[in-house]
Amino acid sequence: MKIETSSSVQEQNKVWSILETVADPEVPVLTITDLGIVRDVKINDDQVEVIITPTYTGCPAMDMIAMNIKLALIENGYNNIKITSVLSPAWTTDWMSEAGKQKLKEYGIAPPNPRQQVCNNDLFAAAEAVQCPHCNSHHTHRISEFGSTACKALYQCDDCKEPFDYFKCH
């Protein structure tokens, strides 16, 4: 019994390490595990079940992510693969890994601030202090609540004048 359990844990770890190589199609510098999209991995007999959750309700990348997970697992010798998408609990940027945030910044996208800073719904409220990923200044302003993908907003740095994407807290 014990041996079986530990081999199942080993198998799970192996699947997780494969999932760590699958990139997000829209922000390719991040993997799906950096983003916190993968919620669980289950081994049922010879079947591998990967449980994923969308970042945003309308995220058009989900079908492609599911396909890329399948391809990565097939390449590593798995044949019986099940992808399950769940909505609850709802995804939050708090699930993004620290490594992921660092990679975003290096890529030129400001990583999400901790969530408690955005829980304010006041109109025309001063935009939260978002750090410019280029010159590190906090002297920036929001151009638009909506950016190039559902998960980003548009900002501009008042010091270096560079416009940049901000991965919104969610």
Partner 1 sequence: MRSALIDYTLHLADTTLILSQRNSEWCGHGPILEQDIAITNISLDLLGQARNFYQYTATLMGGEATEDSLAYLRKEREFKNLLLVEQPNGDWGQTILRQYLYSQFQYLLFNKMKDADDEQLAAIATKALKETTYHVRWSSEWVIRLGDGTDESHNRMIKAVNELWSYTGEMFVPAVYETIVDIRELKNSWEEKVNAILSEATLTVPEKTFMQSGGKEGKHTEQLGYILTELQYMQRTYPGAQW
Least CB distance from residue 65 to partner 1, whole Å? 14
Q: Which of 43, 51, 127, 154 binds partner 1 (CB under 8 A)?
A: 154
Element (H, E) at 83: strand 81-85
Element (H, E) at 164: strand 163-167
Closer by beta carbon to partner 1, 146 or else 161: 146
Q: Which of 3, 4, 46, 58 binds partner 1 (CB under 8 A)?
A: 58
Amino acid at 148: S
How crowded is the C-beta side of 119, counted as CA atoms within 13 Å?
Answer: 4
* Pairing verdict, β 152-157 and 140-144: antiparallel
Least CB distance from residue 112 to partner 1, whole Å? 13
Element (H, E) at 44: strand 38-44
**Which residues between 29 and 48 bind partner 1 (CB under 8 A)?**
none
Closer by beta carbon to partner 1, 103 or else 142: 142
**Which residues between 68 and 127 bind partner 1 (CB under 8 A)?**
86-91, 121, 123-124
20 close to 35: Cβ distance less than 8 angstroms: no
Does 59 sit near partner 1 (CB under 8 A)? yes
What is the four-CA torsion angle of 101, 105, 109, 111, rounded to 10 degrees?
30
Least CB distance from residue 144 to partner 1, whole Å? 4
Which window, 27-35, 57-65, 71-79, 95-103, contacts partner 1 (CB under 8 A)?
57-65
For tokens 């800073």, name the residue: 117
Q: Which residues bind partner 1 (CB under 8 A)?
A: 54, 56-60, 86-91, 121, 123-124, 143-148, 150, 154, 170
